[in-house]
Amino acid sequence: MGRMTTRKGSEGGLFRDACFTSGSPPQEGLPTLHLLGVGKVGKAFLRCLPQRSYRLLCVTDSKASLYERGGLDPLWVLREKAEGKSLKGIAGSWEIETETAVSRVEADCVVDCTATDLDDPGRALRRTLSILESGRAVVLGAKDSLLADTGALLEPRFRGRLGIHALLGGTGWNLMEELDELRASCAEIVAVPNATTTLLVQSIEEGLDFEEATRRAGEEGLLEHDPAQDLEGKDAALKLSIVARAVFGSEVDFDAISRPSAGELDPGMLRGRRERGFTTRLVCRAKPGGTLHLGYEEIPLDSNLAIPWRNVAYGYRLRRGELRLHLGNGVGPAATAQALLEDLDRLFGRGNAHGPPPPPKRGS
């Protein structure tokens, strides 16, 4: 695999003065991608990408970018990363701000696998809006853009070029396709959006102690860097905030959301419930104009919410009583990467004749 070689210098030289050593012409006709973030999900995405017909123009992390106009080999990038290198340490990389790289590469679609930044979500929002306003597409794995301004990103003019399927555990397309109906008729959201807590509950019910169950969740790639984000409902609350804003259109005070403590996962209580024919899930609830609430609830084993840990559930109770249930299996790095690819296939009309049309050409 050839790689880009450059002279260190001003950012203006990037992508104009680069000398390419691959010797292969660009793969004409294939949608082009720019991957942001090479963490667990980003690596899983690179691992799956060769099975799909896309051309990877650029990979960017917080420090640097790798670019190849003929298309980067995803597996080559993975091999370089496997040696413990950051992109900055790979020969031919370019130290450049993420926003500058995104604007200059001009790939058909940006795949955002960066870590969610709650300290400055506005930065991700500005980047995402800039991409969409330019006529390009964005597939989101990170939550910060939508947390900053859900309504702006879900405007009808953007929906055919915005992917949130993976962000909501493989249910994002269901929400996008039914959004207008749900906005008109949804009376309550009830969801089990966090697979980590479900795995912990199931593991403890099966006889593991809390430490063993936590270790299992880590081995499955589910735990956040700070496990308390999962156990105390922070990750679930972020997702509930997004869907509540999307459906009800109201502002959400994240700090006011009622959340549980990790101490509520008492092994004796969990096993006792199971012996009585019940189980426990971290259930999220929201109503129009009301507060958002999360809690570890006792539910029957035959409940729609008693899903296995490899799934998430988002339920939308309509005013006429019907429960519209969206089930997803985009759990863990590998499954999240597959959900990102499903987003891409839908956006570009590949493998799903009923999906939205391909993103319009820039300038159209």
Distance between CA atoms of 172 and 166, rounded to whole angstroms? 7
Residue 194 exposed, middle or buried by CB count within 10 Å (0-12, 13-18, 19+): buried
Distance between CA atoms of 294 and 232, rounded to whole angstroms? 9
- Strands 312-318 and 293-300, how do they pair? unpaired
pLDDT at residue 29, rounded to an integer:
83
Q: Can you spell out the DSSP letters for 89-130?
A: GSTT-B---HHHHHHHH--SEEEE-PPP-SS-HHHHHHHHHH
Residue 220: half-sphere exposure toward Cβ, Cα within 13 Å = 22
Report DSSP state, residue 11.
Answer: G
pLDDT at residue 130, rounded to an integer:
97
Contacts of 150 (CB under 8 A, 6+ apart): 242, 245, 246
Grouping H, G, I as helix, E, B as strand and the rest as coil, residue 65 is strand
Distance between CA atoms of 44 and 335, rounded to whole angstroms? 9
- The pLDDT tens digits along the chain (364 residues) read 333 333 233 333 344 333 333 334 455 689 999 999 999 999 999 999 999 999 999 999 988 999 999 999 999 999 998 877 789 889 889 999 999 999 999 999 999 999 999 889 999 999 999 999 999 999 999 999 999 999 999 999 999 999 999 999 999 999 999 999 999 999 999 999 999 999 999 999 999 999 999 999 999 988 876 777 788 888 899 999 999 999 999 887 777 788 888 788 899 999 999 999 999 999 999 999 878 999 999 999 999 999 999 999 999 999 988 999 999 999 999 999 999 999 999 999 875 433 443 333 333 3
In angstroms, how far is CA 334 from the centroid of its own chain? 12
For the chain, domains (ranges, CATH) are 4-170+334-347 (3.40.50.720), 180-328 (3.30.360.10)
User: What's the pTM?
Assistant: 0.87
